[in-house]
């Protein structure tokens, strides 16, 4: 095959087509790939991305892959690169536009803007590594959470350096929370109802702990990070390690046992629960309800440093303080010795400055007292004058006060006399009115006007014909005496006839 030239690139650009034979030549001239630096030194005068290699790269072009020469056995032998390329071409053709559904696990975003994660089935039966490059990731309104169910649209590809199957996502659409995440939310609601996540129950950390307990796996890097940070920041603090598995079905019970062992050590003033990063399945032991309750009921404050900053477990919510990483947990647990020494130096300097200021003030005060004692006769004369002035002011104030009180008493006496006289006149008028009403209501005066009062033989007044029977004896009380009588008959009173109005 002839070597590639700048003319080949220029011809392809003018034709605006991709010709396999010429592009294979350019491919080999570019050391087997479309790099950012063109090996033809841009002799065609067309800088990327307008040149033919860059056009072919965007179109996904790959050179035809053929097996190597047959071996002595007669069977063709493939190189690893050739086989991986052949598989990649087949998958790219067969699965160029695929919609994939599953649950997010281990989502991370690199500094370059690319996103990498694993998509798994809800039952955990299968998983697939996925990548979303910066241009597609920039279109996401928010990053998906751990265990969230999503639908991806993209293509199946092979990561050729390692020969790994991966899915290149071009878009992501949320399909609701996955089964594991739903279980997480149910446990969170259940434990929140028990009050385990309330802010009021969280305890403050000891400012200067002398002994810190660390619950972590001996095989993990988290324990090394915590111990390294504590040794660097606070070498004076004693560290007690309580080993426990942090992943697997036996991890929750082992972690609870480690917490119980820490509670039996009275020298431990603060406890760190640490684990490195991982997927939601890896960190599921820290969502166990028994472990969450043990953290909330622990006698000393608990700091959790589980996973990375984006990882959140129920143990983090129940802890007295949550750190984003194990190293951060160690930094929050014990202040740096250097910072403590610096703070002590600042306190000593402030105390020294305050003492010097106090000594200066007291010295000035003593100087003033000395000046005052140096002229006692003059000070005594001033004091006598001041005392005389105060006595004169006291006398004038007392006279004014006595005059004001005498005037007030005179006014009160005058008001009392007027009020008593008005009260007597009002009572006299009231008494006269009551006398007139009493005279008008006197029964004797009523009898004197011709009325009589009927009484039965017991002296009770007769008020109705229902109290009188024919032949019953009774007395009539008159103004000048009594009359005995007997009832012959009784009949009810007849109402007077109503008069009809004449029509006009």
Shared domain check, 328 and 245: yes
Shared domain check, 331 and 212: yes
pLDDT at res. 473 = 86
Shared domain check, 222 and 162: no
User: Under a CB-based contact definition with an 8 Å cutoff, are residues 55 and 49 in contact?
Assistant: yes
Q: CA-CA distance, 221 to 274, in Å (whole number)?
A: 10
Shared domain check, 173 and 53: no
Shared domain check, 100 and 45: no
CATH number at residue 286: 3.40.50.10550
pLDDT at res. 192 = 93
Domain boundary among 338, 366, 393: 338
| Backbone φ and ψ of 157, nearest 5° | -140, 170
List helix spans (H) across 375-493. Answer: 376-440, 443-448
The helix (run of H) or strand (run of E) holding residue 166 is strand 164-177
Closest CA relative to residue 225, chosen from 319, 345, 331: 331
Q: CA-CA distance, 488 to 481, in Å (whole number)?
A: 22
- Domain for residue 462, yes or no? yes
Q: CA-CA distance, 176 to 145, in Å (whole number)?
A: 11
Shared domain check, 133 and 93: yes
DSSP category for residue 152: E
| Backbone φ and ψ of 386, nearest 5° | -65, -40
User: Under a CB-based contact definition with an 8 Å cutoff, are residues 154 and 100 in contact?
Assistant: yes
Residue range of the domain that includes 54: 6-58
- Domain for residue 385, yes or no? no
User: Under a CB-based contact definition with an 8 Å cutoff, are residues 315 and 246 in contact?
Assistant: no
Shared domain check, 90 and 46: no
- Domain for residue 107, yes or no? yes
Query: Is 60 exceeded by the pLDDT of residue 106?
Result: yes
The helix (run of H) or strand (run of E) holding residue 101 is strand 98-109
CATH number at residue 102: 2.40.50.140
Of 367 and 200, more confident: 200
pLDDT class for 31, splitting at 50, 70, 90? very low
Domain boundary among 134, 157, 177: 177
Shared domain check, 218 and 130: no
pLDDT class for 60, splitting at 50, 70, 90? low
- Domain for residue 503, yes or no? no
User: Under a CB-based contact definition with an 8 Å cutoff, are residues 159 and 128 in contact?
Assistant: no
Residues 373-432 pLDDT 10s:
767 777 778 888 899 999 999 999 999 999 999 999 999 989 988 999 999 999 999 998
**pLDDT, the chain, mean:** 81
pLDDT at res. 128 = 93
CA torsion sign for 454, 457, 463, 467 is negative
Q: CA-CA distance, 98 to 393, in Å (whole number)?
A: 104
DSSP category for residue 479: S
Of 435 and 314, more confident: 314
Note the residue count of the chain.
Answer: 504
Shared domain check, 117 and 26: no
Question: Roughly what angle, to the nearest 10 degrees, separates helices 251-263 and 289-296?
Answer: 10
Closest CA relative to residue 301, chosen from 275, 271, 331: 271
Least confident range from 21-30, 146-155, 241-250: namely: 21-30
Q: Indicate the number of domains in the chain.
A: 4
Contacting residues for 343 by C-beta, under 8 A, at least 6 apart: none
As beta bridge partners, residue 99 has 153
Residues 442-495 pLDDT 10s:
777 777 777 888 888 888 888 888 888 888 888 888 878 888 888 888 888 777
- Domain for residue 74, yes or no? no
Shared domain check, 108 and 44: no
Shared domain check, 239 and 170: no
Query: Is 80 exceeded by the pLDDT of residue 151?
Result: yes
Q: CA-CA distance, 7 to 14, in Å (whole number)?
A: 10
- Domain for residue 420, yes or no? no
Residues 194-249 pLDDT 10s:
999 999 999 999 988 999 999 999 988 899 999 999 998 888 899 999 999 998 88
Shared domain check, 140 and 104: yes
- Domain for residue 73, yes or no? no
**Distance of alpha carbon 367 from the chain centroid:** 59
- Domain for residue 67, yes or no? no
Name the 3-class secondary structure at 321: strand
Closest CA relative to residue 215, chosen from 181, 258, 185, 270: 258
């Amino acid at each position: 095959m002839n070597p590639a030239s700048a003319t080949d690139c220029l011809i392809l650009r003018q034709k605006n087509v991709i010709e396999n034979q010429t592009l294979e030549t350019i491919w080999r001239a570019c050391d087997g790939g479309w790099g950012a630096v063109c090996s033809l030194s841009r002799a065609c005068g067309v800088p990327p991305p307008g040149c033919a290699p860059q056009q072919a790269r965007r179109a996904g072009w790959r050179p035809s892959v053929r097996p190597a020469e047959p071996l002595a056995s007669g069977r063709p032998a493939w190189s690893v690169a050739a086989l991986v390329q052949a598989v990649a071409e087949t998958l790219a053709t067969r699965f160029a536009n695929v919609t994939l559904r599953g649950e997010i696990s281990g989502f991370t975003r690199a500094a370059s803007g690319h996103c990498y994660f694993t998509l798994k089935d809800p039952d955990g039966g299968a998983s697939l590594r996925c990548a979303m490059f910066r241009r597609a990731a920039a279109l996401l309104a928010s990053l998906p959470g751990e265990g969230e169910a999503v639908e991806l649209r993209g293509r199946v590809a092979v990561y050729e350096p390692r020969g790994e199957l991966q899915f290149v996502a071009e878009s992501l659409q949320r399909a609701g929370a996955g089964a594991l995440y739903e279980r997480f939310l149910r446990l969170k609601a259940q434990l929140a109802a028990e009050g385990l996540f309330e802010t009021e129950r969280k305890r403050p950390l000891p400012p200067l702990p002398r002994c810190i307990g660390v619950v972590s796996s001996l095989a993990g890097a988290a324990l090394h990070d915590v111990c390294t940070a504590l040794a660097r920041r606070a070498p004076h603090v004693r560290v007690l390690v309580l080993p426990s598995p942090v992943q697997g079905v036996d991890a929750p019970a082992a972690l609870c046992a480690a917490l119980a062992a820490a509670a039996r050590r009275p020298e431990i003033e603060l406890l760190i629960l640490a684990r490195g990063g991982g997927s939601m399945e890896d960190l599921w032991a820290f969502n166990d309800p028994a472990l969450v309750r043990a953290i909330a009921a622990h006698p000393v404050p608990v700091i959790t440093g589980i996973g990375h900053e984006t990882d959140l477990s129920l143990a983090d919510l129940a802890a007295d303080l949550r750190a984003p990483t194990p190293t951060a947990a160690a930094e929050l647990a014990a202040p740096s010795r250097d910072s403590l020494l610096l703070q002590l130096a600042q306190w000593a300097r402030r105390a020294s400055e305050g003492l010097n200021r106090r000594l200066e003030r007291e010295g000035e005060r003593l100087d003033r007292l000395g000046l005052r004692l140096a002229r006692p006769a003059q000070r005594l004369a001033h004091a006598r004058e001041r005392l005389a002035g105060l006595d004169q002011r006291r006398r004038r104030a007392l006279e004014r006060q006595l005059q004001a009180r005498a005037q007030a008493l005179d006014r009160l006496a005058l008001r009392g006399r007027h009020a008593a006289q008005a009260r007597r006149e009002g009572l006299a008028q009231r008494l006269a009115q009551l006398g007139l009403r009493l005279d008008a209501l006197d029964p004797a005066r009523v009898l004197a006007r011709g009325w009589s009062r009927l009484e039965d033989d017991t002296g009770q007044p007769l008020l109705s014909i229902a109290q009188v029977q024919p032949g019953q004896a009774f007395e009539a009380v008159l103004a000048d005496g009594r009359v005995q009588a007997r009832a012959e008959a009784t009949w009810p009173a007849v109402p007077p006839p109503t008069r009809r109005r004449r029509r006009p």
